[in-house]
Amino acid sequence: MDSIEAKIGYRFANLALLSEALTHPSLACETKRSQPDNQRLEYLGDAVIQLILTEELFRRYPGEGEGRLTKLRSRLVSREALCLFANRLELGSYLFLGKGELASGGRNRPSNLSDAFEALAGAVYIDGGLEAARGFLFQNFGALIDEILSQPEEMNPKGELQECLQAIAPASPTYRIVGQEGPDHLKSFVAEVRWEGITLGQGSGNSKKEAEINAASEALRERRWMEKQNREELVNNSEQL
């Protein structure tokens, strides 16, 4: 545990909290033993990160309204951003995983990394309080936070799409590569973004990331989730009649 504590610049008074933050649910499920995993700390850490970053944005942009501040925050708490933070710490190498999860690439799975990062923030908060959690975020990631905030908004369609969808339902959109062609040095990828069982958009690019960004851009243009929302409203109205 010493190496991860050295990386984050924080020493835990209660090492059990650190161990819990790094324990994936697959471990208890696989071993059939009752042991704490990081789901509760992830839940808490999500709220702690949101509070700290909301306060920082409120202070940093005194002239901005709620809508703009919400967009900025969504860029900092998106899964993509949380994974960047986690990778800076090489957090995947410290996770305690079940054998099945480990064999299937769990150390690099974005959901595992983002969840573990939130759990780690929650553990620091429980162990040292709000100021310790704030220090954990800004001492380790202050420059990266500045970098993300400095990017033009049009460069973050994935974050904007997630914000639009989470205003309707808590589920996040999912991306998958549905096609690729060309030689290794000149590959082209096609990505698809789905949400709540519907395909919102497709996009192509010279990298998987670029393809996903273009898929999110098409989804924002087409706004197909509105069709689903309208259908659900019609059903609800008919049931009330």
Residues with catalytic function: 46, 118
Q: 10 near 135, Cβ under 8 Å?
A: yes
Please name the residue that has the structure tokens 């991306």: 175
Length of the chain: 241
User: What's the CA angle centered on 80, arms 78 and 86, to 5 degrees?
Assistant: 105
Residue 183 token pair: 């030689």
Q: Which of 44, 6, 27, 39 is nearest to 102 (CA)?
A: 27
The CA-based angle 198-200-201, given to 5 degrees, is 135
Q: Tell me the H-state helices in the chain.
A: 2-8, 15-21, 25-31, 39-60, 66-77, 79-88, 99-103, 110-128, 130-150, 157-166, 208-222, 225-240
Give the other-Cβ count within 10 Å of 178's Cβ.
13
191: tokens are: 């990505």
CB 188 within 8 Å of CB 205: yes
Compute the distance between CA of residue 173 and CA of residue 213 in angstroms, rounded to an integer.
Answer: 12
